[in-house]
Structure 1
Amino acid sequence: MLTMKMPDPDIQSIESALATLGQEDTSKLSIPALSRGVTSFCAEAALLQFVVTWARHSPSATVASFLGLDSTAGSFETLVQKQLGLPYVLAAWVFANQLRDSNDRVMKRREAKGFTAFLDAMDNFEFHSTHETVETRANLVCVQGSRREFIRPFYEQLNNAWRVRPEGDVRVVVQDILAQLAENWTAKYLREVAEPLSHLIRELVENSDWWARADHRGVEYEKGIRAITLRVRDVDDDSLLMFAGGNTHIQTYLLYNLVNHPRVRKDDEPGSRGVRRYLSFLELTMVDSGPGLALRWLASRPENKRSVDRLDDVSLEEEEDAVIECFKKWRTSSGNSLRGVGLFSVASLLQRRQGFLRLRTGRLAFLFGTQSAMSDIENQLKTRDLSGDYDRLADGTHVFLQDEKLVFFLRPWSTDKLSTVEGTAYSILLPV
């Protein structure tokens, strides 16, 4: 059995690894120890999605080999707990058919007893204790079929059923998270960031609740995971390339904000190499292991429902049309006519907060948020006869309009052909 290495924590490496699945025996995956350097922006969600895709590719034969673990060592439980503080490592622990340590000894899933401490911390609103990494972050995770299947801070029980809390309650939770991640923020600024962020998070949680816990036929998954992570990272001129992970879209976005954002801090102390700029970014990731946007929409849309088991049975054009329908205003597959502004409202909030988005689902990836793309799109719209709330440009960019003005867009991440992934992953950056 060949061993596939976990890809490096950048988008290009992850997409390259996805392309190898199915080309050879990739049923064994090696999980490195924690010291992997900086995880570039948008890569953490992609890593979790990669692990789920790898595991479902051959679900009865997958082996996850944890290189940093020795099951006979006295520090074993402590090291397991540290590693499971990263959601993509947890996904490997949950989804793999067999777990092995660095000496190829078989491990039992129940040996991750310490992970319950992270769930306890999440339930007790001690968000800074939901991991044991050195990062300023919070993990909110639930595993399908477990005793604590829902992300409790965002859910409440009503008539013995779990449902997403009202937005006001979610806002309190988000403020609490931010207060623990950014202790130097004023109460006023905390509320300013929490208000749009709580709306965004609630919409994503509710959408994953509708779309991700069951397959496109409505059958609940035996194994599944949903994860929300928030991390705050300071980026400066020297670390920008590292956080961009070699990706020009992310690099362009970070650089523009380092130059133009009003909250940029400058270091011009004597002896320093010129003026160095600093800016904090909040990264929000939301990943689920559901059927993906297209399959769910095709099976649940209001008219002409179509149940498709494999994306290969759908043209790329039809898949793309299905995903775009999910973002159009008032579209819904939930059966609730009062819903249908969820993803559209998330998109418009990002526009107002100067946010950046990477969306990956099925065979598609889109971006939103670079100033160069926004300027280019607005210039193209000046030459077009606009009507309605949607337009598609010649370069494949999907434009969402209100009163003939740009509200949001989804531009193809690249012109490369992408491999199919399981679930849906949102990576969102907000300058703070």
Structure 2
Amino acid sequence: MQLSSFMTVSAAEDFLRHIYAGTVGKLQIPTRARHHAAGGEAAFVQAVSTWANEANPAELVSYAEGPVDEVQIERLVSRLHGLVGILVADTISSIRGPDLTEVLRKAALERLSLLQSATPEDGSRGPQLEIVCFDHLAKSHPRSFYAPSEQGVLQVRRLPAFNLFAAEVLKELVPTALSRGIPEGFTSALGGALHELFRNTEEHGRVNDRGDVPTKSVRGFHARRHSITPKMLPALAAEAKPFSDYFSRLRPARAGNRDIQLIELSVFDTGPGMAASLSARPLTSIDRNEELLLVRRCFGKNVSRKSISSAGLGLPTVIDLLRERNGFLRLRTGRLSLFSDLGLEEQRAFGELPELRDWADPGGRIAPIAGTLFTLLFPLGA
């Protein structure tokens, strides 16, 4: 199967349906990605990781013509979907047939070492930042998110470190001229939300819904600023009504500017999903209505999942700020694809649940997916 280079959320869902229909076979992965400015690439990362855990073996095909095709190899490794695809595949061949597994893995691991270093921006290009863990490769502790305890054990950093990280992310993404578009208090709220979401990947995202360690375990963070012309919006929406409605309200950051500046922040893992984790039961034993109730519980402040809260205070704080700034939230977990158009919600009491609505039409087919993906969107400026 040839993976679409139009990496919209809709295309990722179509890919998932093929996975569970058993019609994928070898997966041909594109070098470039287009129309991915609304969490589409993160959606494909989650889908490709799902494929790798379902396929046996997971066979990837690259557009590189051979081991000396440095341009195609560098392009593939430099993209998040390419990096993940390479490091979850069992074998990788070129479009002409020769095996490229070792060549591409070597290049991918070199870039991963930059992303997991103290300066992950060295491994990213343009206004973006990404940090990825590959637990099945013992590449689980990027320095931005982990530090040694007094006993020398690597643990998720404390909240102040994530607040500093959030400040660095926004500094990396947002030019000084547009920094006024960042809501007051957003940096610390974002740090709190990232701390909670990533900490949950450490505690709950490293096993599947049966409590087994998955063959391929991927956890990570992706942030990017997109400059979007109004003409691009229909292609980005890809006939998905939640996005069409949301995009219709977006405007350029400043008067006289042509482009809309949109910030995308995603956290993902390949764990059991929110409902299975909170209930400590496999997804197959949970009907869809109960799954939805369990997921909604996870959005409440100070909800317990084992010893640590799943939402705490950071995520509700971010949601409150994004209600004021025309934000958008998408959640993909288990058999649920949900969204909240936060800009349409009135300001509510702190910690009150956002209105989580089905992404698909009632009765629409949603294939199960490995793990959980949170994507937050908010425009800079008006």
Range of TM-score over shorter length:
0.7 to 0.9
Change (3 A) 1:224 1:124: closer
**d(CA) in 2 for partners of 1:92 and 1:14?**
14
Residue aligned with 1:295, SS = helix
Q: Alpha-carbon deviation of 1:418?
A: 0.7
Answering whether residue 318 of structure 2 is matched by residue 329 of structure 1, we say no
- Cα deviation, 1:332-390, whole Å, max 9, x if unaligned, reads 11224798556545544543443211101111111112545x36xx9xxxxxxxxxxxx
Quick check: 314-323 or 180-189, which moved more? Answer: 180-189
**d(CA) in 2 for partners of 1:178 and 1:360?**
24
**d(CA) in 2 for partners of 1:157 and 1:314?**
38
Answering whether residue 21 of structure 2 is matched by residue 32 of structure 1, we say no
Q: Alpha-carbon deviation of 1:250?
A: 1.9
Change (3 A) 1:337 1:48: closer
**d(CA) in 1 for partners of 2:148 and 2:203?**
16
Answering whether residue 179 of structure 2 is matched by residue 170 of structure 1, we say no
Residue aligned with 1:194, SS = helix
Residue aligned with 2:87, SS = helix
Q: How many residues get paired?
A: 376
**d(CA) in 2 for partners of 1:23 and 1:186?**
45
**Which of 252, 274, 299 is the aligned partner of 1:293?**
274
**Which of 36, 40, 43 is the aligned partner of 1:43?**
40
Structure 2, unaligned runs of 5 or more: none
- Cα deviation, 1:252-273, whole Å, max 9, x if unaligned, reads 2233232xxxx73122xxxxxx
2:61: which partner in 1?
Answer: 65
Q: Are the aligned partners of 1:5 and 1:31 in contact in 2 as well (CA < 8 Å)?
A: yes
1:84: which partner in 2?
Answer: 77
Instruction: Specify the code of the residue in structure 1 equivalent to 2:356.
Output: L
Quick check: 135-144 or 14-23, which moved more? Answer: 14-23
Quick check: 179-188 or 220-229, which moved more? Answer: 179-188
**d(CA) in 1 for partners of 2:148 and 2:240?**
42
**d(CA) in 1 for partners of 2:232 and 2:284?**
40
Q: Alpha-carbon deviation of 1:118?
A: 2.9
Q: Alpha-carbon deviation of 1:285?
A: 1.2
Q: Alpha-carbon deviation of 1:19?
A: 1.6
**d(CA) in 1 for partners of 2:213 and 2:186?**
35
Instruction: Determine which structure has more spread, i.e. the larger CA radius of gyration.
Output: 1
- Cα deviation, 1:373-414, whole Å, max 9, x if unaligned, reads x36xx9xxxxxxxxxxxxxxxxxxxxxx748x9552211112
Answering whether residue 156 of structure 2 is matched by residue 210 of structure 1, we say no
TM-score, normalising length from structure 2? 0.87
2:254: which partner in 1?
Answer: 265
Q: Alpha-carbon deviation of 1:95?
A: 2.0
2:226: which partner in 1?
Answer: 233
Q: Are the aligned partners of 1:143 and 1:223 in contact in 2 as well (CA < 8 Å)?
A: yes
TM-score, normalising length from structure 1? 0.77
Q: Alpha-carbon deviation of 1:246?
A: 3.3
**Which of 10, 13, 18 is the aligned partner of 1:12?**
10
Instruction: Specify the code of the residue in structure 2 equivalent to 1:202.
Output: H
Q: Alpha-carbon deviation of 1:31?
A: 0.6
**d(CA) in 2 for partners of 1:235 and 1:339?**
31
Answering whether residue 357 of structure 2 is matched by residue 429 of structure 1, we say no
| Identity level (%) | 22
**d(CA) in 1 for partners of 2:379 and 2:180?**
16
**d(CA) in 2 for partners of 1:161 and 1:347?**
33
Instruction: Specify the code of the residue in structure 2 equivalent to 1:411.
Output: R
- Cα deviation, 1:260-305, whole Å, max 9, x if unaligned, reads xxx73122xxxxxxxx654311101111111111111110xxxxxx
Q: Are the aligned partners of 1:249 and 1:370 in contact in 2 as well (CA < 8 Å)?
A: no
Answering whether residue 323 of structure 2 is matched by residue 351 of structure 1, we say yes
**Which of 348, 355, 369 is the aligned partner of 1:409?**
355
Q: Which aligned segments of 4 or more residues in structure 1 are displaced greater than 6 angstroms?
A: 186-191
Name the Cα RMSD after superposition: 2.9
**d(CA) in 1 for partners of 2:116 and 2:110?**
10
Instruction: Specify the code of the residue in structure 1 equivalent to 2:174.
Output: A
Instruction: Specify the code of the residue in structure 2 equivalent to 1:421.
Output: I
Matches within 5 A, 1:22-171: 22-34=20-32, 36-58=33-55, 60-67=56-63, 69-73=64-68, 75-76=69-70, 79-109=72-102, 111-132=104-125, 135-158=126-149, 159-171=151-163
**d(CA) in 2 for partners of 1:98 and 1:360?**
28
